Amino acid sequence: MGKIIAFSNQKGGVGKTTTVLNVADYVARAGKKVLMIDIDPQGNLTSGYGIEKHKLELSLYDLMMGQARFDDVVMKTAYDGLDILPCNMDLASLEVELATVPNRTLVLDRAIKGFTDRYDFVLIDCPPSLGVLTLNALCACDGVIVPIQSEFFALEGLSQLMNSIKLVRDRINPKISVFGVVLTMYDGRSLMARQVTEEIKKYFGAKVFEVPAPRNIKLCESPSFGVPISQHAPKSRGGVAYAKIAEEFLRRMN
């Protein structure tokens, strides 16, 4: 069975989707079979791979609502070994529609069960909240990677995420743990960034990935072209960093 990793941080704008998009790509380039699950209604991971989300006939919403099968929803990307369960804003209504569903935090787990063994890794891009969608990801995964921006408010609300992971572990998913922390939008010239990084390392210790993802314009540009950084600017600081982050990801997952 493929290892399922949720990329989660309830704070928005921390480079979470950028991290999933590029780690998935580099891991697939290393010869692994990877499934990405876009469970953020904004659908940025979906559009980041050049998929026109507003034209989707079927999406993760249909799969989780039991209105479509896994094989009807999953899409191949333009890259070998890399598939995606795409989404769009239809997914936003799921929070309300699942309100009366028994065991509503296990809907994703049930929807993908039996299919994840096709892949080496399943990477879930969570929304910037701790609502029903993120809880579904936490209940379905083996562990969490937390992208954290190296800025003043980075640790704000982090205890809430850790408490949610503990709650899920205690009540629903005993296997879940924090696999790692990726520092994003890092600017080593900034004293604040260095200070925040030290605080994050005190909190998480060896779970912090060795290479931070820098603040880099090429990383911001590549999703607008519908391609990962390896296609847009592989030799950029962002491209080199995510290649190294993916290498470390593979070492940690062994």
CB 136 within 8 A of CB 65: no
Q: Which domain holds residue 150?
A: 3-253
In this prediction, residues 205-210 reach a mean pLDDT of 96
CA distance 127 to 7: 9
Digit-coded pLDDT (tens) for 155-198: 777 888 898 899 999 999 999 999 999 999 998 888 888 888 99
Digit-coded pLDDT (tens) for 52-75: 999 999 999 999 999 999 999 999
CA dist list (Å): 26 to 131, 149, 234, 240, 254 = 29, 21, 11, 11, 16
Tally the domains of the chain.
Answer: 1
Q: Tell me the pLDDT of the chain averaged across its residues.
A: 94
Instruction: Decide if pLDDT at 10 tops 90.
Output: no
DSSP reduced 3-state for 42: coil
Backbone phi and psi for residue 176, each to the nearest 5 degrees, phi listed first: -70, 140
Digit-coded pLDDT (tens) for 76-132: 999 999 999 999 999 999 988 988 889 999 999 999 999 999 999 999 999 998 899
Residue with the two structure tokens 């590549």: 222
Digit-coded pLDDT (tens) for 14-57: 999 999 999 999 999 999 999 999 999 999 999 999 999 999 99
What CATH number is attached to the domain comprising 94? 3.40.50.300
CA distance 192 to 215: 14
CA distance 227 to 218: 11
pTM of the model: 0.96
Residue with the two structure tokens 């209604």: 41
Tell me the sheet residues that pair with 5.
123, 143
